[in-house]
A and B are shown apart, each in its own frame.
Chain A
Amino acid sequence: MRFRFMPVAVMGLAFVLAGCAVTPPQQPLAMQPTSLKADAGRIGVAMSTVPKVDTQFPGAGCLLCLAAASAMNSSLTDHVRTLPPEEVPALKDRAAALIKAKGGTPVALANALDVNALPNFSGDAPNVARKDFRGLKDKHQVDKLLMIQLDTIGVVRNYSAYIPNGEPKAVFSGTAYLVDLKTNALEWYHPFNVTKAADGNWDESPKFPRMTNAFFQALEQGKDEILRPLQ
């Protein structure tokens, strides 16, 4: 009688633990010297939509906290929204030019690629893309895909409810990776998260010159993160 509920309990525990299991994050993969050469075939170069340059206040969780954080930083937000994501939209073409300089055959895909719209890839083998990119092989007549996924461009200020946890920082983050479209295997995986603080006092409304400088520093450093491995 005592053991009647044991299988149910074990099954329940297994169910809970399975629910808690998280796929480990993809670790960075270095670019192989031969990955972009002529015999690599046609290499598609795609980029996500360039995110809107804006401010974010993570940690200001409740609605009132977010309203307070937004109000407290409204002048900064107004300014940040005027900053251009200079040369970021041209990253795809610059990447294609670098592949060509290495002897490869780049094909820049005309439109922005929404990776979230792709189907999931079944299987949990290491160093394989979580989304199924294989359908792009025939669609674009390419053998590999160099994807530049941009996540955040702008300024982030961490909060703890109503109170800022520090100065705002300029941020440029995303991931660049190369997928073999035959196997969906990753041949390069390079997440980047460039964070730059203002050199000196950041709070100089309305033009925030030091914060603006940090923003362009982050952009420049982020562009290097993406393009340097292709050189």
Chain B
Amino acid sequence: MKRAGLLAAGLLMVGVLLPSARADDELALRWSAQAGAKPTFRGVLNKDGAGMGAGGMLYPAPGLVGLFAAVLAHAAVNSSVQSAEMRKLQEKADEVLKPYSGALDAIAVDDLLTQTRVALAPQGLAVRPGWVNANLELTPVFLMTQDRRAVLLDVAAQFHDGTSGRPRQLGMRVVSDPRAHPAEGQDDWASHEGALKKVCIELLARAVRHMLDSVDPARPAPAPAAERTVRFTEGGALRMERSKVLEQRCGRALLLTLSDTLMSVPLSNVAALDAECNAAAVPAPLAVAAE
């Protein structure tokens, strides 16, 4: 009887551990040391109005050496003023996260990675032909828009296919589909445990899938596309990105930016929805934004 109990407990433990265990034919997904022990969250920063206006400056310094010293002192002061301004702007932008501090504290790196693996199942992390003990190391930063309607993921990654010596540097930004404007006191990202984590998992899974596709040697190269300014929604705001459209379906586009990084965005134009994507397949918040 005791033996049967132990066996049952053993089987239960295997069952619990199985989802997070990595099969040999799966790519290893890692959280980089630089990314810190907790996921990084920030408010989206707008630098368009940053910096001081144009102005003159008189250097009351005798001689060439004096003038040189005065210019250097001016440069040092200006630099520290600009740094302080950027710090202040970022602090102000980060205030958007205050209502979500509880939800953000509850997001653990291990859980995020495990859930991302689950979201990518069954084939998302499968080793592709030509990879040996491949791994992808992520350094993600999550950003929330000031209108609290979308989360962005900026992720830098190192991909090691196990065959070449040097890891490949990858970068991607994913913008979540915009949600409806949360009513006062009814913000499920703040009140429902796991709601914000679910968004982060979706963003991470999407980023990993696109980045792995981009380094898959068996995948055909995307058809050459013309560079253009693509409009998309970032929360309730209209944004633009100069890029090549690599893929466009179901109201989203995968872009190759001028910096040679990938970007996955919800399109602002309802006409962009493909005929093959029926209305039910489109997430409700996107359908609202596209109207």
Q: Using a CB–CB distance below 8 Å, which chain A residues touch chain B?
A: 58-59, 61, 86, 158-167, 169, 195-199, 204, 207, 209-210, 212-213, 216-217, 219-221
In whole angstroms, what is the CA distance A209 to B78 when docked? Answer: 26
Q: What CA separation (Å) do A116 and B29 show in the bound complex? A: 64
Interfacial chain B residues near A196, Cβ < 8 Å? 48
Task: List chain B residues, Cβ under 8 A from A86.
Answer: 229
Roughly how many angstroms separate A207 CA and B46 CA in the complex, as a whole number? 23
Contact of B257 (CB < 8 Å), options: A161, A209, A221: A209
Which residues in B have some Cβ–Cβ distance to A below 8 Å? 46-57, 59, 71, 74-75, 78, 82, 229, 231, 239-242, 257-260
Given that A161-B57, A161-B59, A207-B258 are contacting pairs, would A217 and B229 also be in contact in the complex, using a CB cutoff of 8 Å? yes
- Looking at chain A's contact residues, the main secondary structure is mixed
> Do B229 and A158 touch (CB < 8 A)?
no
> B54–A165 contact, CB under 8 A?
yes
- Check A165–B55 contact: CB distance below 8 A: yes
Contact B78 A217 (CB under 8 A): no
Contacts of A213 in B (CB 8 A): 241-242, 257-259
Determine how close the nearest CB of chain B comes to the CB of A69; give it in whole angstroms: 11
Q: How far is the CA of A159 from the CA of B55 in the complex (A)?
A: 6
Measured in the bound complex, the distance between the Cα atoms of B68 and A162 in whole Å is 11
Query: Do residues A216 and B240 form an inter-chain contact, with CB atoms below 8 A?
Result: yes
Question: In the bound complex, what is the Cα–Cα distance between A115 and B47 (angstroms)?
Answer: 34
Quick one: which of A86, A166, A167, A221 has the most chain B CB within 10 A? Answer: A166
Asked if B50 and A197 sit within 8 Å, CB to CB, the answer is yes
Alpha-carbon distance A207/B259, docked complex (angstroms): 9
Output the least CB separation between A203 and chain B (Å). Answer: 13
Give the CA-CA distance A204 to B241 in the complex, in Å: 17
B49 & A195 in contact (Cβ 8 Å cutoff)? yes
- Cβ-defined contact, A197 with B54, below 8 A: no
Shortest Cβ distance from A161 into B: residue = B57
**Which residues of chain B are near A212, meaning CB under 8 Å?**
242, 258
